[in-house]
Chains A and B, each alone.
Chain A
């Protein structure tokens, strides 16, 4: 899923502008490394408008990557790390916004619109069929 997303990103942003900014880091387990990769891909760099921590070369992104690395190695859970970042940099750092009353429309708005559209679609079809049947009689 994530690799698919990266692929789409590559295509959208044009391949030339896509580069990994990555330090050499050692992990005590493969799982930790995977968790690290998914976290730095999902956390937004607070300095840059539209880059995640993994892609950004800005000083603060380097520091925050190191912070994520350290917290993972210290045995912190993903949620703890995300909460840590949100407490300091706000919800801005989340590419996947939390579910709350403020983000309700963001998360469920499309489904609500889809439901409204579907209702209208069905009612139009039903009405048309009634009219056609009426004409035939």
Chain B
């Protein structure tokens, strides 16, 4: 019995070693959203396309994506063609023009095409704070019952879409 006590440090070391080893290679930048499992927060935002004030009542039914973008955001330029392709394949996208100005945003949609069913202007970034956004692009997946099920930080591309689309139902 007393001999076993000498193995306590070794045992503790092995347990910690396994624990640390399992954490290796994990994305340390990954941060889960606090909004998973909740509905989209209330909002009153002006539509970029029609100048109407829209609320969460106006959000589309069924599964859709909420995509935060801005003309100031380089990754959004890269992401845009992929969003166009998604829209063409029948995915519903809601765009949030995050901390941006109206004129360049409208020009962007005319020049590059509009993948969004509706675009809301969040000029001050208040809705962004309500959604727990830390920058752009960021995309939330909202399921059929209006619950936020996934958040992706960074651009959507072929690779990240494989993960996102599993939640879109």
Contacts and interface: CB of A to CB of B under 8 A. Distances in A.
A67 B129 CA distance: 9
B34 A86 contact: yes
B34 A63 contact: no
A90 B33 contact: yes
Interface in A38-85: 46-47, 49, 58-60, 63-64, 67
Contacts of A60: 133-135
Nearest to A86: B34
Interface residues of A, number: 15
B35 A63 contact: no
Given A59-B99, A88-B35, A46 B125 contact: no
Query: Chain B contact residues (Cβ within 8 angstroms of A): what range?
Result: 10 to 19
Contact of B31 (A58, A63, A87, A90): A90
B35 to A, nearest CB: 7
A88 B131 contact: yes
Contact of A89 (B29, B125, B132): B132
Contacts of A90: 31-34, 132
A88 B130 contact: yes
A89 B34 contact: yes
A30 to B, nearest CB: 27
Contacts of B33: 90
B99 A46 contact: no
A95 interface: no
